[in-house]
């Protein structure tokens, strides 16, 4: 596989000869226009104009650094690293090159690589306050990772559940929120659950008022859902009965009020109104706890009607960087975060709907002969690896041209329409539905209609102005697409509020 740098659109040298004064002037004009787009959060337009400027004048490190920053904003961290490295090659003294590379590596959780660059930034620009701040934070993260690695031990047979004592979690009379039945489910009448619709409705209303669920009930919900997921295969088959509609949603990323708006527009989950949420429930948005507890409560209530797939953000490294860990520890505890981690490890990786539609968070694979049985056989009960089928299911993206290439994200691959066609034919499928990418219109139909992206977090991170979308699927495999706008959320709670201080990257 070729390197990202080798796949960059610019060669290391300009074969056309010296840059003319006219090209220099035009490139500066393009850069200025690109900067305006960047300030308006129109990052793809900015990338397009920075690229045009680079094509006219490929000798200026600043152009590559500006484009790298725009790539970071669009989560194309692999491309950002390639551009930063090009800037450093052109001008080894250009501090922003090291700073941008450090930023992108932090986003990919490549902490030690980032640390080296932050040290270079501080050494060469000691007065750069933000550089010193980021260096200190990066050092702290590296120390914590090394400490956690030093104290970890192999205890694969023991679950955090063994350390949770629900009976010791007394509920004070002053708590006036929703309450679950305290009768053990095993002692309840047949077909009766400790959870019911009135509890979930009350919990949602409680969350809308920015109130916290009692920890005992939160633990009960997560543990019940974890048991359900653990019993499932890595690939789940969904058969939609006649008279039932399945709604497939993409990333919601902790945007609780937009998430609830889906239910307002489309109806709440029920035995006839099924849902499949296709990963990335948490991180970035600052109501991730409320989103995931609501989803897990519905899974417990309607296990056949509510389906959840793992996304790349249902992982510890992402949660440490992008806010979920900080939010859980702020609202509950470290033990609760560990329970969520175990539960995320149990989430299925893929679904097949009506034997014809593969639904995965990221995408397809670096080889052609992958079968559904291979996906079913994946041992998913771990943190996602950095290569292989599980990694590619969570991280890959489609591209418009044939073939495969390293991902713009720096992890997994990008796959073309021919790859999609071959996979579908090999597995007797009709199409792939995936998520993982912001789309201005909420969804995108690519690869001759055989690869659809759906994204359900409108105005992503309060900055992207995109629509959200969801897809209806009937028992006859008829699809319809629906878009929606963002709704207001409490102004005092910003996106990335609980993230590492690296949230100033805006990623």
Q: Which run of H or of E encompasses 266?
A: helix 256-266
Q: Answer whether 403's CB lies under 8 Å from 397's CB.
A: no
Calpha distance 207→494 (Å, rounded):
16
Q: Report how far residue 365's alpha carbon sits from residue 350's, in angstroms, rounded to the nearest whole number.
A: 13
DSSP per-residue string spanning 214-255: PHHHHHHHHHHHHHHHHTS-SEEEE-PPTT-EEEEE---TT-
Q: Find out whether 261 and 487 touch, Cβ atoms under 8 Å.
A: yes
Catalytic residue, candidates 214, 253, 307, 313: 313
CB 246 within 8 A of CB 472: yes
User: Cα–Cα distance between 469 and 485 in angstroms, integer?
Assistant: 9
Give the three-state DSSP class for 443.
Answer: strand
Place of tokens 């309840």: 188
Neighbouring C-alpha atoms within 13 Å toward the C-beta of 461: 20
Mode of pairing for the β-strands spanning 273-277 and 306-308? parallel
Residues 69, 87: Cα–Cα separation, whole Å: 12
Specify whether the CB–CB gap between 471 and 481 falls below 8 A: yes
CB 64 within 8 A of CB 81: no
Residue 253 bears catalytic tag: no
Q: What are residue 368's phi and psi, to 5 degrees? A: -85, -20
From the number of C-beta atoms within 10 Å of its C-beta (0-12, 13-18, 19+), residue 231 rates as exposed
Assess contact for 279 and 359: CB atoms under 8 A.
Answer: no
Catalytic residue list: 313
């Amino acid at each position: 596989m070729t390197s990202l740098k080798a796949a960059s659109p610019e060669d290391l040298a300009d074969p056309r000869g010296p840059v003319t004064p006219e090209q220099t002037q035009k490139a500066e004009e393009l850069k200025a226009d690109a900067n305006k787009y960047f300030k308006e959060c129109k990052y793809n337009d900015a990338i397009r104009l920075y690229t045009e400027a680079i094509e006219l004048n490929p000798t200026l490190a600043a152009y590559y650094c500006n484009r790298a920053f725009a790539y970071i904003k669009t989560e194309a961290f692999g491309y950002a690293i390639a551009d930063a490295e090009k800037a450093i090659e052109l001008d080894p003294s250009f501090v922003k090159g090291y700073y941008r590379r450090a930023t992108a590596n932090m986003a990919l959780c490549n902490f030690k690589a980032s640390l080296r660059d932050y040290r270079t930034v501080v050494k060469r620009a000691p007065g750069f306050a933000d550089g010193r701040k980021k260096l200190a934070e990066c050092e702290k993260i590296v120390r914590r990772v090394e400490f956690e690695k030093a104290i970890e031990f192999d205890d694969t047979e023991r679950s955090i559940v063994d350390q949770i004592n629900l009976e010791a979690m007394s509920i004070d009379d002053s708590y006036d929120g929703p309450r679950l039945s305290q009768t053990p489910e095993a002692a309840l009448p047949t077909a009766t659950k400790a959870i019911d619709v009135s509890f979930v409705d009350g919990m949602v209303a409680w969350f809308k008022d920015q109130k916290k669920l009692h920890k005992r009930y939160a633990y009960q919900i997560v543990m019940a859902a974890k048991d359900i997921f653990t019993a499932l295969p890595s690939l789940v088959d969904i058969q939609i009965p006649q008279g039932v509609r399945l709604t497939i949603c993409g990333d919601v990323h902790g945007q609780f009020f937009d998430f609830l708006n889906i239910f307002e527009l489309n109806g709440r989950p029920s035995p006839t109104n099924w849902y499949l949420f296709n990963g990335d429930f948490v991180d970035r948005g600052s109501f991730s706890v409320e989103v995931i507890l609501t989803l897990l409560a519905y899974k417990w209530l309607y296990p056949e009607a509510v389906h959840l797939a793992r996304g790349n953000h249902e992982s510890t490294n992402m949660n440490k960087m992008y806010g979920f860990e900080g939010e859980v520890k702020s609202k509950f505890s470290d033990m609760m975060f560990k329970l969520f981690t175990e539960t995320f490890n149990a989430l299925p990786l893929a679904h097949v709907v009506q034997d014809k539609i593969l639904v995965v968070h990221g995408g397809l694979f670096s080889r052609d002969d992958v079968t559904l049985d291979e996906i079913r056989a994946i041992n998913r009960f771990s943190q996602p690896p950095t290569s292989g089928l599980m990694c590619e299911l969570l991280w890959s993206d489609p591209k418009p041209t044939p073939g495969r290439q390293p991902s713009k994200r720096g992890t997994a691959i990008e796959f073309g329409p021919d790859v999609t066609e071959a996979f579908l034919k090999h597995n007797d499928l009709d199409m792939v539905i995936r998520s993982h990418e912001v789309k201005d219109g909420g969804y995108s139909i690519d690869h001759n209609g055989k690869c659809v992206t759906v994204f359900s977090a409108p105005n992503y991170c309060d900055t992207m102005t995109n629509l959200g979308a969801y897809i209806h699927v009937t028992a006859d495999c008829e699809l319809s697409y629906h878009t929606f706008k963002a709704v207001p959320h409490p102004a005092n709670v910003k996106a990335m509020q609980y993230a590492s201080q690296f949230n100033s990257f805006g990623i």
